[in-house]
C-alpha cells in the first residue's frame, strides 16, 4: 500500500522541513510533551480501507436499515427535494468554505445568507432574521434565553403543552442550566388553552411564552388574543412554526409575535435520521440587538459596489464573551443555502401546492381511517394540514407491529392514547391505500 492519499509529504520533504526547524525526527516535534503522555501502545482501531472497501462497508451498513414508507412527521417531514439542490450544494466553493470572515472572498456565502434572511422574513412576516441556527428545538431554547435577556426581574418561561415533545425537552434542558423556570400551559381540545395562559401570566413572573403555530397534533392553532395577553405582562410572545405551512397559515407577525422560531427541515431537507437540519429565528425590529446568531447586512465597498458583510457582531460571543446572550458562533450555513434554493425553486405558488397536496392526502387518510372503525377522532373538527391525531380503539402495540411488518412507519404514539399520521406530497395514492388496507386488517 502506497502513501495515504491525503498526505502529500515525500521523504525528501519531511527531511527538508525537519532541517529547517532544526529537529532530527518527527518525534522531536513533541519534545515539550511530558514523556508519560506520549502514547506508546498501538491504537485499537481498524486498519485503513481502500475506497472500494469503504463503499462495500457502507453498502453492508445500508442493507441493515429497512426502507420504510414514512407516514410520520413529529418534527421531521418527508417532503420532495428538488434535484437541483444537492447538485448546487456540492459545489466546493460553498461546501469547503469556512464562515465568511474574509468578506472579500466570501460574497457567495454572504449573498445567499442575505437571501435566506429575506425569505425567512417573508415567510414569517417578521422584520429581521438571523443567518440560521442548529435546529428548531435549539432555536426555541435560544428564544427562551432571549426572552430572559429582554425582560427584567422575570424568572419563568411558559411552554405550550402542544409543542412537539422534543422542543419542550430541549428548552427545558437549556432552562434548567440557564437558571430559568419552565411552566407548561395546558392543552384544551387539542389547542393551547388561552385561559390557562392568562392564569399563568397573572403570576407576574413570566418573561416569555412559546406556543406552536401548527402543534404536535397537526392542528393549526388559533392565537386570537394571545399576543395582547402576553404583552400586557411585558413578556415576549414566541411562535414555533413549520415554515412549509407558513406559506398558507397565518404568520407569527399576524398573530403579533415578537419572535418566530422553527425548523427549516420541512423545506425539502431530506430526513437523514435527524440531521443536519436548520433552525431559524426571526424577530421584530425592536428585538434585533438581543437576537443571537450571525447576521448578514448589506453595505457598499470602497468602489461603491453593493457588498455583504457579517454585521452587528458586537452582540456576539467572540466580542461579548461571557456577556453574550448566546454562545452560538456559527450557523447551519449550507442548510440555509439548501432552504434558500428550495424556496427559490418553489416560490409561493409551489409551497402553496405542496400544502394543498399534502393536506388532501392527509384529509383522505384521516377520513378513511375513521371508516375502518379502528380509531376515533381525537379533536373533532379541529383544522389540520398534513398531520393529524387520532385515538386508537385497538392496542397501539399491535397496530404498530402490523405496520412495521408491512414496511410502514405510521401511527406514532405522541402521548398516551394518541397517535399521529402525516402525509406529504411524496406519498402516492397507492401507498396511502396500502396503509389503509393494512390497518383494516388489525
Task: For residue 372, state whether it binds other proteins (rule: CB under 8 A).
Answer: no
Closest separation in Å from C-beta 241 to other proteins: 11
Q: Which residue in 203, 228, 232, 330 binds other proteins (CB under 8 A)?
A: 330
**How far is the C-alpha of 132 from the C-alpha of 1, rounded, in Å?**
44
* DSSP per residue, 354-393: HHHHHHHHHHHHHHHHHHTTSEEESSTT--BSSEEEEEES
Instruction: Return the number of the residue (254 or 376) whose C-beta is nearest other proteins.
Output: 254
Task: For residue 30, state whether it binds other proteins (rule: CB under 8 A).
Answer: yes
Q: Which residue in 187, 249, 281, 419 binds other proteins (CB under 8 A)?
A: 249
Binding mask 386-415 for other proteins (x = CB under 8 A): --------------x---x----x--x---
Q: Which residue in 95, 202, 370, 393 binds other proteins (CB under 8 A)?
A: 95
Subset of residues 180 to 219 that bind other proteins, contact rule: CB under 8 A: none
Instruction: Return the number of the residue (230 or 400) whose C-beta is nearest other proteins.
Output: 400
Closest separation in Å from C-beta 188 to other proteins: 17
Q: Which residue in 119, 207, 267, 435 binds other proteins (CB under 8 A)?
A: 119
Instruction: Return the number of the residue (199 or 398) whose C-beta is nearest other proteins.
Output: 398
What is the sign of the dihedral through the CA atoms of 77, 78, 80 and 85? Answer: positive
Closest separation in Å from C-beta 169 to other proteins: 4
Closest separation in Å from C-beta 166 to other proteins: 5
Subset of residues 282 to 321 that bind other proteins, contact rule: CB under 8 A: 288-289, 294-309, 311-315, 317-321
Q: Which grid cell sits at 141?
A: 431554547
**How far is the C-alpha of 198 from the C-alpha of 51, rounded, in Å?**
61
Residue 253 neighbours by CB under 8 Å, 6+ apart? 124, 125, 126, 260, 284
Subset of residues 218 to 237 that bind other proteins, contact rule: CB under 8 A: 220, 222, 224
Closest separation in Å from C-beta 55 to other proteins: 8
Residue 326 neighbours by CB under 8 Å, 6+ apart? 142, 145, 146, 292, 293, 317
Residue 49 neighbours by CB under 8 Å, 6+ apart? 57
Asked whether the beta carbons of 100 and 310 are under 8 A apart, the reply is yes
Asked whether the beta carbons of 161 and 187 are under 8 A apart, the reply is yes
Q: Which residue in 189, 327, 417, 440 binds other proteins (CB under 8 A)?
A: 327
What is the sign of the dihedral through the CA atoms of 159, 163, 164 and 167? Answer: negative
Residue 404 neighbours by CB under 8 Å, 6+ apart? none
Task: For residue 419, state whether it binds other proteins (rule: CB under 8 A).
Answer: no
**How far is the C-alpha of 417 from the C-alpha of 324, rounded, in Å?**
43
| Tally of CB atoms within 10 A around 433 | 13
Closest separation in Å from C-beta 117 to other proteins: 5
Could you tell me which stretch among 105-113, 154-162, 199-207, 372-380 binds other proteins (CB under 8 A)? 105-113
Closest separation in Å from C-beta 200 to other proteins: 22
Could you tell me which stretch among 175-183, 189-197, 198-206, 372-380 binds other proteins (CB under 8 A)? 175-183
Amino acid at each position: 500500500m502506497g502513501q495515504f492519499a491525503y498526505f502529500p509529504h515525500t521523504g525528501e520533504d519531511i527531511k527538508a522541513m525537519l532541517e529547517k526547524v532544526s529537529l532530527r525526527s518527527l518525534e522531536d516535534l513533541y519534545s515539550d510533551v511530558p514523556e508519560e503522555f506520549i502514547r506508546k501502545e498501538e491504537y485499537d482501531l481498524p486498519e485503513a480501507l481502500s475506497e472500494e472497501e469503504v463503499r462495500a462497508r457502507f453498502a453492508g451498513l445500508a442493507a441493515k436499515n429497512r426502507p420504510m414508507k414514512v407516514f410520520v412527521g413529529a418534527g421531521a417531514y418527508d417532503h420532495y427535494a428538488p434535484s437541483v439542490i444537492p447538485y448546487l450544494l456540492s459545489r466546493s466553493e460553498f461546501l469547503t468554505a469556512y464562515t465568511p470572515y474574509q468578506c472579500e472572498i466570501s460574497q457567495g456565502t454572504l449573498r445567499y445568507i442575505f437571501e435566506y434572511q429575506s425569505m425567512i422574513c417573508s415567510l414569517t412576516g417578521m422584520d429581521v432574521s438571523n443567518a440560521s441556527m442548529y435546529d428548531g428545538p435549539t432555536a426555541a431554547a435560544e428564544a427562551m434565553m432571549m426572552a430572559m435577556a429582554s425582560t427584567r426581574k422575570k424568572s419563568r418561561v411558559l411552554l405550550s403543552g402542544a409543542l412537539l415533545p422534543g422542543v419542550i425537552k430541549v428548552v427545558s434542558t437549556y432552562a434548567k442550566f440557564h437558571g430559568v423556570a419552565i411552566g407548561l400551559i395546558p392543552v384544551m381540545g387539542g389547542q393551547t388553552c388561552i385561559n390557562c395562559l392568562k392564569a399563568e401570566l397573572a403570576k407576574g413572573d413570566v418573561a416569555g411564552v412559546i406556543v406552536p403555530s401548527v402543534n404536535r397534533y397537526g392542528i393549526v392553532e388559533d392565537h386570537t388574543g394571545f399576543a395582547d395577553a402576553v404583552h400586557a405582562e411585558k413578556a415576549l410572545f414566541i411562535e414555533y412554526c413549520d415554515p412549509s405551512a407558513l406559506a398558507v397559515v397565518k404568520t407569527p407577525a399576524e398573530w403579533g409575535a415578537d419572535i418566530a422560531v422553527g425548523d427549516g427541515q420541512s423545506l425539502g431537507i431530506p430526513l437523514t435520521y435527524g440531521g443536519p437540519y436548520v433552525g431559524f429565528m426571526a424577530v421584530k425590529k425592536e428585538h434585533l440587538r438581543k437576537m443571537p446568531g450571525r447576521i448578514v447586512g448589506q453595505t457598499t465597498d470602497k468602489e461603491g459596489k453593493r457588498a455583504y458583510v457579517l454585521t452587528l457582531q458586537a452582540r456576539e460571543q467572540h466580542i461579548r464573551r461571557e456577556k453574550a446572550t448566546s454562545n452560538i458562533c456559527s450557523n447551519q450555513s449550507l442548510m440555509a443555502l439548501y432552504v434558500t434554493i428550495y424556496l427559490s425553486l418553489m416560490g409561493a405558488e409551489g409551497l402553496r401546492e405542496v400544502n394543498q397536496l399534502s393536506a388532501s392526502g392527509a384529509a383522505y387518510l384521516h377520513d378513511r381511517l375513521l371508516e375502518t372503525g379502528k380509531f376515533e377522532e381525537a379533536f373533532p373538527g379541529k383544522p389540520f394540514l398534513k398531520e393529524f391525531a387520532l385515538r386508537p380503539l385497538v392496542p397501539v402495540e399491535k397496530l404498530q407491529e402490523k405496520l412495521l411488518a408491512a414496511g410502514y412507519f405510521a401511527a406514532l404514539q405522541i402521548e398516551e392514547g394518541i397517535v399521529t399520521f402525516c402525509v406529504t406530497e411524496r406519498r402516492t395514492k397507492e401507498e396511502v391505500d396500502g396503509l389503509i388496507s393494512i390497518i383494516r386488517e388489525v
